[in-house]
A and B are shown apart, each in its own frame.
Chain A
Amino acid sequence: AQSVTQLGSHVSVSEGALVLLRCNYSSSVPPYLFWYVQYPNQGLQLLLKYTSAATLVKGINGFEAEFKKSETSFHLTKPSAHMSDAAEYFCAVSEKGKLIFGQGTELSVKP
C-alpha cells in the first residue's frame, strides 16, 4: 500500500520568505503525486501534480515541487510567501484512482 508523510503539521513563515512544505511518499510503483490547498471554508484545490513527465513541476500561484526518486520526496516550495498563501496544504499519492493523503500542513504567513 502506498502512503504519504508530511513533516510538520504547522509551518510559519514571514511574508516574502521562502515557503518549504515537505512531503515524502512510499510507493512500490512509479507514483502519481499531487499537492492540494484548502483555503478557509473552501474545498481542496489542485496546486500541481507529478505524472512522470518532468521532475520539476510548476503549479498555480507561484508554487512548484520537485520529484526526487532517490529521496522519495515531493516537497512544495514558493520563493516568496504572500499573506494570501495562508491555508492548509495536502500532499497526496494516487492509488488506483483514489487519493491517499498526508496529514496536512497548516501554513501561517506573518506580516
Chain B
Amino acid sequence: EAGVTQFPSHSVIEKGQTVTLRCDPISGHDNLYWYRRVMGKEIKFLLHFVKESKQDESGMPNNRFLAERTGGTYSTLKVQPAELEDSGVYFCASSQLAPREAEQFFGPGTRLTVL
C-alpha cells in the first residue's frame, strides 16, 4: 500500500512568487492534515480536511495560504504571494478515522525556501 506522497520534495522561489504544494493521502483516508515546521520551531498544525470539506483551518497563518481538496482525494496548498517567513517544511498527513487517538500517517514533506 502506498504511503502519503508529497510533491515537490523541494521548492526554491523568490519572494512574491506563487508556489503550489501537492499531497496525495493514503487511498481511502478521508482525513487529511497539513502541518508546517519553520526552522528551529515545532511542527504546527495548519488545517484539517474531512473529504473535501475544511473541518478546521484555525492554523492557517493568513489569507496568502489557500488549501483545496477537490473531490476529496489529493490536496493542494497554494502560497500567493510567498514571503520570506513562509520558508520551512510542509508536511501532509492522513488518517482513516478522526477521533483523538487515530494515527496520522505522514508524508516526507516539502521543503520550501523563499529567497
Residue interface bits A80-111, CB-to-B below 8 A is 1, else 0:
00000000001000111111111110000000
Query: How many pairs of A and B residues are in contact by the CB < 8 Å rule?
Result: 59
Is A70's CB within 8 Å of the partner chain B?
no
In the bound complex, CA of A94 to CA of B31 (Å): 14
CB of B42 within 8 A of CB of A102, answer: yes
Which of chain B's residues have a CB closer than 8 A to the CB of A41?
A: 108
Is A44's CB within 8 Å of the partner chain B?
yes
Residue interface bits B43-69, CB-to-A below 8 A is 1, else 0:
111001000000110010000000000
- Which residue of A32, A90, A95, A96 is within 8 Å of B43 (Cβ)? A90
Which of chain A's residues have a CB closer than 8 A to the CB of B93?
A: 44
Q: How extensive is the interface on chain A, given as a class?
A: 20 to 34
CB contacts under 8 Å to A, within B54-108, are 55-56, 59, 91, 93, 98-108
Is B16's CB within 8 Å of the partner chain A?
no
Is A55's CB within 8 Å of the partner chain B?
no
User: Which residue of B has the minimal Cβ distance to A90?
Assistant: B43
Name A residues whose Cβ lies closer than 8 Å to a Cβ of B.
32, 34, 36, 41-46, 49, 51, 90, 94-104
10 sample A-B contacts, Cβ–Cβ < 8 Å, listed by A number = A43-B91, A46-B103, A51-B101, A90-B43, A97-B31, A97-B98, A98-B56, A101-B43, A101-B44, A103-B41
